[in-house]
Amino acid sequence: MNSSSSRRAALKAGLAGALAVPAVASAQQNFSWKMTSAYGKGSPFYMDGPGSATDLAKRIEVMSGGRLKIQVFGAGELIPALEGFDAVRAGTVEMNHANSYFWTGKTFAAQYFTAVPFGLNFQGINGWLYDGGGQQLWNEVYAPFGMVAMPCGNTGVQMTGWFKKEIKTVADLRGLKMRIPGLAGRVYAALGVDVRLLPGGEIFPALERGVIDAAEFVGPFQDRKLGLHKAAKYYYTTGWHESATVSELLINKAAWDKLPADLKAVVENASAACNVISEGWCQRNNADAMEDLIKNQGVIARPLPDDVLKRLREVTNQVLAEAVAKDPMTKKVHDSYMAYKRKFDAWSTYSEGPYHEKILTA
Ligand code: CA
C-alpha cells in the first residue's frame, strides 16, 4: 500500500467512523414517560414555576436531548390526587410527583423522607438524604413495592397554620376542629384536636363557614393564594410539624432499570437542581407574601407559646416511639435519621444556631 492509498484508506475509515456516530445515536432508545402529581394542574410550586413538576420534566427533556420525554398530569387528570403510589407500583405511569408522607398507610417509614415533626431543616434533610444514608434507605423502604425515589423539591419550613382564636395554652387546642394531614394530625388528635382531612381547595370555604376552626396548608405564598387570611387572623408561624418538606419523585423500578446510565444521571441531576431551585423560589415568594399579610391584611403572626410547643414535642416523641416499636423498617429509618439529627443539631449549636441568635442580631 503506497502512502496515498493508505491515506485514502484512513480517510475512508475516518468517514465510516464519522458515519457510524449518527447510526449509534439512532440506535439509542427514546423514552416517553408519564408523570402524575398529587397536586392540581397549575398549583404554584408543585406543578407550576421554577423547580416544579413541569419544570423538572422540561429540564429532563432538554438535558437528555429529547431522549426522555415526560408528560405531566395534575391531580385528577389521569388518576385521583393520592393514587400515585399505586399507579407507579403497577407501572400505569412511570413517575409520580408528590410527598412520601402520603404513603404512610402503605409503609410508615415513608414519613421520614418528607418531614418529621421537630425534625431536620432544609440543610439537615439534604445532608441526611445525600450524604447520611437517607437516599439509600428511601430506596430500601420502597424495594418491596418495586419503586425508587429521590428528592425533587422542598418548601423550606412551613407554617403552623391559621387559627380563628388565639392559642394561649395546650387546653385551647381541645375540641378545636383543624385541617391537618399526616403524623402532625395524629399528634394534635392526642391533644384533643378534632382533626379533619381536606384537600387544598376545600380549606378556605370550610374555615370561612366555621366547619373548621383552624387549618395548616403550606406557607405564606400558597396560604394567601387560598385566601386563608380572610377566614382566620391568627397565623402561627415556624411549623413545628414540617420543618423542611421534601417533594418526592417516585419512579417505577422496572422502568428505571431500563434507562441507560446517562439518562439516569439526567433524572438525578435535574431532580437535585429542582430540589434547590424550588426552595429558593419559596424563600422569595414567602418573604413577599408574609410582608403583605402583616402590613396590609391585618394578620397577627407569632410562634406558638413555649408550653404548647413543649407538649407537642412530647406527644410527637410518643407517637414516633409507638411507630418504631411496630415496624422494623421504621426503626431502621428512624435510628438513621435521629443519629444524623443528633450530630447535625450539635454542629448547629456552633454554626447556624449562633448565626441566627447572635450574629444577625449583633
Ligand atoms: Ca403542610
> The sheet that has 194-196: what strands, in order across it?
194-196, 177-179, 214-215, 159-163, 234-238, 300-302
Lowest average pLDDT, out of 13-27, 76-90, 203-217, goes to 13-27
pTM of the model: 0.90
Which residue, 316, 171, 192, is CA-closest to 242? 316
Element (H, E) at 157: none
40-55 pLDDT, tens digit per residue, is 999 999 999 999 999 9
Query: Could you tell me the distance, in angstroms and rounded to a whole number, from the CA of residue 182 to the centre of ligand 1?
Result: 9
Q: Measured between alpha carbons, how far is 164 from 210 in angstroms, rounded to an integer?
A: 9
What b-and-e string marks burial along 18-31, b requiring 16 or more CB atoms within 10 Å of the CB? Answer: eeeeeeeeeeeeeb
Determine the distance separating the centroid of ligand 1 and the alpha carbon of 179, expressed in angstroms: 10
Report how far ligand 1's centroid is from the alpha carbon of 221 (Å).
Answer: 13
- Which of 105-119, 139-153, 195-209 has the least mean pLDDT? 195-209
- The 10s digit of each residue's pLDDT in 291-303 is 999 999 999 999 9
Element of type H or E holding 146 = none
The yes-or-no verdict on residue 8 having pLDDT over 70 is: no
Residue 289 · residue 220 · CB < 8 Å? yes
Query: Which pLDDT band holds residue 5 (cuts at 50, 70, 90)?
Result: low
Task: Confirm if 275 and 49 have CB atoms less than 8 A apart.
Answer: no
Can you tell me the distance from the alpha carbon of 163 to that of 126, in angstroms, rounded to the nearest whole number? 31
Condensed to tens digits (0 to 9), the pLDDT of residues 100-129 reads 999 999 999 999 999 999 999 999 999 999
Beta carbons within 10 angstroms of residue 63's beta carbon = 18
CA of 70 to the centre of ligand 1 (A): 27
Q: How far is the CA of 239 from the centre of ligand 1 (A)?
A: 9
Residues 71-94, mean pLDDT to the nearest whole number = 96
Distance in Å, CA 218 to ligand 1 centroid: 4
What order do you get walking across the sheet with 147-154 strand by strand?
68-73, 31-37, 95-98, 246-252, 147-154
Distance 78 CA to ligand 1 centre (A): 24
CA of 235 to the centre of ligand 1 (A): 14
CA 98 / ligand 1 centre spacing (Å): 12
**Nearest in space to 154 (alpha carbons), one of 75, 226, 46, 55:** 46
Per-residue pLDDT for 56 more than 60?
yes
- Ligand 1 midpoint to CA 67 (Å): 35
On average, the pLDDT of the chain sits at: 93
| Mean pLDDT score, 198-217 | 93
Supply the pLDDT for residue 200. Answer: 79
How many angstroms is it from 203 CA to the middle of ligand 1?
12
Cα-to-centroid distance, 242 and ligand 1 (Å):
7
User: Would the pLDDT of 1 be above 80?
Assistant: no
183 in Cβ contact with 117 (< 8 Å): yes
Grid cell digits, residue 50: 421554577
| d(CA 196, ligand 1 centre) in Å | 13
Does the structure show a pLDDT above 70 at 20?
Answer: no
Whether 356 has a pLDDT exceeding 70, the answer reads yes
CB atoms within 10 A of CB 322: 11
CA geometry: angle at 124 spanning 44 and 51, to 5°?
A: 25
* Gyration radius (Cα) of the chain, Å: 24
Ligand 1 centroid to 25 CA: how many Å?
45
Rounded distance, CA 88 to CA 37, Å?
11
Confidence of residue 336 (pLDDT cuts 50, 70, 90): very high
Cα of 163 to ligand 1 centre, how many Å?
15
Give the chain's length.
362
Query: Which CATH class for the 28-153+245-284 domain?
Result: alpha beta
Contact 163, 213 (CB under 8 A): yes
Query: pLDDT at position 203, please?
Result: 95
For the cut 60, the answer to whether the pLDDT of residue 23 exceeds it is: no
Residue 23 CA to residue 135 CA, distance in Å, equals 37
- Spell out where the chain has E strands: 31-37, 68-73, 95-98, 147-154, 159-163, 177-179, 194-196, 214-215, 234-238, 246-252, 300-302
* DSSP tag of 145: G
Q: Worst-scoring range by mean pLDDT, 134-143, 177-186, 193-202, 324-333?
A: 193-202
Residue 274 pLDDT grade (very low, low, confident, very high; cuts 50, 70, 90): very high
Task: Output the pLDDT for position 12.
Answer: 53
| Residue 201, pLDDT score | 79
Burial of 190 (C-beta count, 10 Å sphere; 0-12/13-18/19+): middle
CA of 220 to the centre of ligand 1 (A): 11
Ligand 1 centre to CA of 216 (Å) is 6
Contact predicate 126/189, CB 8 Å: no
Q: What integer pLDDT is reported at residue 143 of this predicted model?
A: 98
Q: Which of 163-177, 185-199, 262-276 has the lowest mean pLDDT?
A: 185-199
pLDDT, one tens digit per residue, over 261-270 is 999 999 999 9
When pLDDT is averaged across residues 347-358 and rounded to a whole number, the result is 91
DSSP state of 303: P
Which residues in 267-300 are b (16+ Cβ under 10 Å) and which e?
beebbbbbbbbbbebbeebbeebbeebeeeeebe
For 148, the grid coordinates are 425508587
